[in-house]
Structure 1
Amino acid sequence: MYGWNFSRCFNKRHYSHDLQNVFKEEVKKVNEWWATPRFRHIHRPYSAEDVVKHRGSLPLEVTRYPSSYQAQRLFQLLDEKFHKREPLHTLGVIDPVQMSQLARCKDIHVAYISGWACSSTLVGSTNEVSPDFGDYPYDTVPNQVERIFKAQQMHDRKLMLEKLGPHKKEIEETNYLKPIIADADMGHGGTTTVMKVAKLFAEKGAAGIHLEDQLVGGKRCGHLSGAVIVPTSTHVSRLVATRFQWDLMGTENLLIARTDSCNAKLLSSSSDPRDHQYIKGVINPQAVAWSEILTQLESGATESTAIAEAETEWYEQNKIMTFDEAVEQQVNRDQYDTYLEKKANKMSKLNRVYLSLAEMRKLAALAAPKQQIFFDWDKPRTKEGHYMFQGCMEAAIGRSLAFARYADMLWLETKTPDLKQAGSFASTIHNVYPEARLVYNLSPSFNWSSHGYTAEALQSFIWDLAKHGFILQLVSLAGLHVDALSFWQLARRFQKDGMRAYVEQVQRIEKAENCDILTHQKWSGVEYIDSLSKVLDGSSSHTSSTSGDSYTESQF
């Protein structure tokens, strides 16, 4: 969006002096850009000077990214919907076909691309498909974004030609350029890798991405067990790195901070005091660390089944708990109430929602001076060194509040579709950040029929959720499930009924539903390419792909 003109400097005798003037001008432009309504809620722990001096000499005017234009549209949509408390809901697509059908839905304004779907259906450079463990090359989802975005542009050009071409057909108004929101998983590495991933998404057409607070190498789908989350500060660093990369590029892409801490059981490090109150330990001084026992078992060539049994036995014998729970177990009721009161007063005095383990130990000692409180969070650590973590709504709220200053939207990953839970989360967040836009995963992993919703409640769920500020809502794997279901229904019947099955389950329904894939040649853009050929080589209708007896779609 902004870039300096170095040609002014290269031909001047006082190069250094003039360069400094240009630098100051560019810094001023960046500061003015950051002061626009687009970034009114965004905090940056770096300066405009930091951005400008890392941009290089190539003017940004020559590298404008379409994704930034799409991001502006997405921001406007979110702004409008948030103030009306209306949903911006969509379905995850897995290919250009689904994208083109989504585009024809006037009340769906954005498209979504899932990392889970890419991991399981889209072969990247490794030609491997796998579960959603985030172990595929980090350009896999950006490349899918590029595929979808280029298809959007192709269909948009095709539509414009139909509207402005020689026949000027009266056709259905369709917005093929719906902003794309994509899954960036956990960023796939340290801050420089996160920056590269963010750069790829911006280059390839994503208007927005979401980053989750899981560990690289310990990532799991949010609805699987075994996920490892990173310290709060680590994920903040990812969010800052992403924003910095986009500032270098001069783009306005949107960033969603997702937390999986509501259901997480493992934490990669105890480095951030904001996480301390949720780390679990043992209160038995005689307990031998599980990692020591495991090392002995493995060095003795113990079978894996025996190791698994030993692990289960260890955790049964050594109950794990948070520090607060450990205090409760080792003092009397009055002392514990005193501890909680001191803890609340301390947090209020410090204007914080957390205390470090050291701070909590001191308060426990004051509350129960004659009682030695034992608590060890190292003994239960896993083989990889991960800490036991108490995933809960309180943890998710704390992390979301920490992420809010750096992100455009906040995503709460849940294990059930719970309106009451969502409303409680939203209320707490909005008490601190009233303008926070929230995101909800309408996941197919939920058995929606088992949660007591009536048909009417299911129909209104999205709109009820939007009233709480959950504006962006998505069925992340809708495309995957629909693709499998429809093809399974056809294949199962086709094996016995042949073409009757195809005609009855595909062609007749396509025609009745006005599905434009019925005429797939036209859908693909063959008329657009014919028009290009006529412009370039003046070809006649006799050589056109869409003329003559060979053009079978004229049958429709």
Structure 2
Amino acid sequence: MSKMSKLILTRRFNHTTSYSKDLAQIEAFFNKKRFKNVKRPYKSIDVLKHRGSINYLQENATPVSSLISRKLFNLLETHFKERKPLHTLGVLDPVQMSQLARCENIKVAYVSGWACSANANDNVSPDFGDYPYDTVPNQVGRIFNAQLMHDKKLHLQNFNSGRNNNSDKIDYLKPIIADADMGHGGITTVMKLAKLFAEKGASAIHLEDQLVGSKKCGHLGGTVVVPTSTHLQRIIATRFQWDLMGAENLVIARTDSCNSNLISSDIDARDHKFIKGIAVENNDIRPVSEVLLEEELKQEKYGHSTSSDSLNSIEQEWYKENKLLTFDEYMIQTLTDSEYTNLIKERSELLKKLGRRYLSISEMKQLANKISPRKNLTFNWYYPRTKEGHFMFNGCLEAAIERSLLFSYYSDLIWLETKTPNLLQAKNFAMTIHEKNPNIKFVYNLSPSFNWEAQGFNQETLKSFIWDLAKHGFVLQLVSLAGLHANGLGTWKLAKEFQYDGMKAYVNNIQNVERQTNSDMLTHQKWSGIDYIESISNVIQNGQSSMTSSTSGSGFTEKHF
């Protein structure tokens, strides 16, 4: 226990034995091997003060998902050490989960927010993160409860046959990784969401650095990232919530900054290097938002409605006439070659002196004035802002690296969202971050949004891609919408043939294939757990249940198989 913690206890709690013991338990929790590479900006006493009177660590009151998250952590550790992939498919529902469970080399499951928005939501829609924040947790809950049911069914089956549980390699309790989008709100909402996910059964969640209210699928244009500090607070809030619960669930920090061209605020100096502006050389230039507003008001004055095409045309013309630049690009344009060389040297020395990786816009301007005091700096990043007030952002790999490096010390894994499946990009990303933080593990989205065959892959490189990625530390890899596409394709193929061929189509496409591939869905009554329920009924009703005979005798249709 630290001296400061003891001092606070003495002053506030009279250093009672109870509080001292509780604090020691929390600090022991913090010092677990599980958290060896995780940084917390708060103290153990902050958890003690805010968790309430229940000692979750002592009373074993942590959520079940925390137990399974230990399995996930150990899997990640082993696969990272061996540089092997922990790859999986996104599942839509309990049925798909149960089929995934029968695959020995697929050891985890994934639940996508995109899939839930389009398939498990009262108001089906594209992924704008505008569905109720309990949508994905509730879907996770359905899947997790099904996992528990199938696990009980298997346990009973093994017990009755005299086999040890380990004799059957089916693992129905595969850890679930779930999509928490951008957290759906401020810090308190993020904490509530994290609590809900843990209670519903998610062993890990990922949070992306997009703006609440402007969230889009990472493969669409126009995504808006938040300041680095805002997303860092989301990650810390999630960890703090789970610390309050005594939970070991994993936090995945995702960044969309590699592809985004907008940022919601310029408040964080760590983002300044990537914010774009223009050179305001004369007073005739006005902010683009003012130009657009003036056009709208002018049309209203004459009783016309302003078309979006007209406004888009004016906006595009403004950006064509006013070239967007980062401050560094502006310096290249403004300074002589020798002056720019001196600027780079001075900047490097200043960063080394300050012991950080960034300079604010004011520091960059001061440095420029020092190098070339007679130059009038006309750089302005407020003029190009959108109507919503968003700043132009230079989304690039360097931006993703800078953010991810910071996030890596507070999270368990880092997710790099990309536009294309690019092994060289992934390698450069991982190599740069591992130079500073060699322990962090990476996540890769093997997205169905990519046209894989159009990316230069052949059959051999398609097969080896995930193993090639894993060599660089991209351990967790997932086909996020695999379940959605498999569901749609399978149903489409069946329906298309069934409309003309009737039961021939069903038998040939479903029943025969189930039999040939040893699918447990062939005997769906058994799959659903009817034997397990009958066994419980026998215990409660001392063998007198009418259910006892439901799976015996000629009346049980699955005897046909």
User: TM bucket by the smaller chain?
Assistant: over 0.9
- 2:251 match: 255
User: 1:542 and 1:339 mapped to 2: Cα distance?
Assistant: 83
1:76 to 53, 74, 77: 74
Partner SS state of residue 21, structure 2:
helix
Deviation digits for residues 6-58 of structure 1 (CA, Å, limit 9, x no counterpart)? xxxxxxxxxx9677331122111111211121111111111101100111112
- 1:364 match: 368
User: 1:314 and 1:232 mapped to 2: Cα distance?
Assistant: 29
| Residue 43, structure 1, aligned to residue 48, structure 2 | no
User: 1:56 and 1:76 mapped to 2: Cα distance?
Assistant: 30
Instruction: Give the AA of the match of 1:255.
Output: V
1:175 to 171, 191, 208: 171
1:32 to 17, 28, 32: 28
2:111 to 113, 117, 122: 113
- How does 1:427-438 map onto structure 2 within 5 Å? 427-438=431-442
Long gaps (5+) in structure 2 = 1-11, 301-305
Q: CA 1:17 to 1:298, structure 2 compared with 1: closer, same or farther past 3 Å?
A: closer
Structure 1 position 543, deviation (Å): 4.9
| Residue 161, structure 1, aligned to residue 159, structure 2 | no
1:444 to 440, 443, 448: 448
Partner SS state of residue 134, structure 1:
coil
2:485 to 470, 481, 504: 481
User: 1:539 and 1:247 mapped to 2: Cα distance?
Assistant: 48
User: 2:262 and 2:184 mapped to 1: Cα distance?
Assistant: 18
Kept in 2: contact 1:409–1:438 (CA 8 A): yes
1:291 to 289, 292, 309: 289
Instruction: Give the AA of the match of 1:150.
Output: N
Structure 1 position 422, deviation (Å): 0.6
Kept in 1: contact 2:342–2:371 (CA 8 A): yes
Return 79-88 or 55-64, whichever deviates more. Answer: 55-64
User: 1:513 and 1:62 mapped to 2: Cα distance?
Assistant: 42
Structure 1 position 315, deviation (Å): 1.0
User: 1:337 and 1:18 mapped to 2: Cα distance?
Assistant: 61
- How does 1:213-292 map onto structure 2 within 5 Å? 213-285=209-281, 286=283, 287-292=285-290
User: 1:379 and 1:479 mapped to 2: Cα distance?
Assistant: 45
Partner SS state of residue 411, structure 1:
strand
Deviation digits for residues 197-225 of structure 1 (CA, Å, limit 9, x no counterpart)? 00001111111000000100111111111
Kept in 2: contact 1:494–1:501 (CA 8 A): yes
TM-score normalised to structure 1 length = 0.94
| Residue 457, structure 1, aligned to residue 457, structure 2 | no
- How does 1:9-408 map onto structure 2 within 5 Å? 20-60=16-56, 61=59, 63-123=61-121, 127-165=122-160, 172-285=168-281, 286=283, 287-300=285-298, 301=300, 302-408=306-412
Structure 1 position 167, deviation (Å): 8.0
Deviation digits for residues 414-435 of structure 1 (CA, Å, limit 9, x no counterpart)? 1111111111111111100011
Kept in 2: contact 1:541–1:547 (CA 8 A): no
Partner SS state of residue 252, structure 2:
strand
Instruction: Give the AA of the match of 2:73.
Output: F
Return 56-65 or 260-269, whichever deviates more. Answer: 56-65
User: 2:292 and 2:456 mapped to 1: Cα distance?
Assistant: 44
CA RMSD, Structure 1 to Structure 2 (Å): 1.6
User: 1:17 and 1:354 mapped to 2: Cα distance?
Assistant: 42
Structure 1 position 296, deviation (Å): 1.6
User: 1:57 and 1:20 mapped to 2: Cα distance?
Assistant: 14
Kept in 1: contact 2:264–2:390 (CA 8 A): yes
2:501 to 481, 485, 497: 497
User: 2:406 and 2:317 mapped to 1: Cα distance?
Assistant: 37
Return 181-190 or 286-295, whichever deviates more. Answer: 286-295
User: 2:437 and 2:234 mapped to 1: Cα distance?
Assistant: 21
Kept in 2: contact 1:162–1:169 (CA 8 A): no
Kept in 1: contact 2:537–2:547 (CA 8 A): no
User: 2:77 and 2:60 mapped to 1: Cα distance?
Assistant: 29
Structure 1 position 539, deviation (Å): 2.4
Structure 1 position 299, deviation (Å): 2.4
- 1:555 match: 560
Long gaps (5+) in structure 1 = 1-15
Return 485-494 or 282-291, whichever deviates more. Answer: 282-291
Report the identity percentage: 56
TM-score normalised to structure 2 length = 0.93
User: 1:167 and 1:198 mapped to 2: Cα distance?
Assistant: 40
Return 84-93 or 168-177, whichever deviates more. Answer: 168-177
Instruction: Give the AA of the match of 2:48.
Output: V
Kept in 1: contact 2:110–2:178 (CA 8 A): yes
User: 1:542 and 1:104 mapped to 2: Cα distance?
Assistant: 28
Kept in 2: contact 1:96–1:148 (CA 8 A): yes
Deviation digits for residues 226-250 of structure 1 (CA, Å, limit 9, x no counterpart)? 1110000001111110010000000
Instruction: Give the AA of the match of 1:251.
Output: A
Kept in 2: contact 1:542–1:548 (CA 8 A): no
User: 1:472 and 1:507 mapped to 2: Cα distance?
Assistant: 34
Deviation digits for residues 267-313 of structure 1 (CA, Å, limit 9, x no counterpart)? 00000000001000010333100111122222233332211211111
Return 449-458 or 136-145, whichever deviates more. Answer: 449-458
Corresponding pairs, count: 538
1:413 to 402, 411, 417: 417
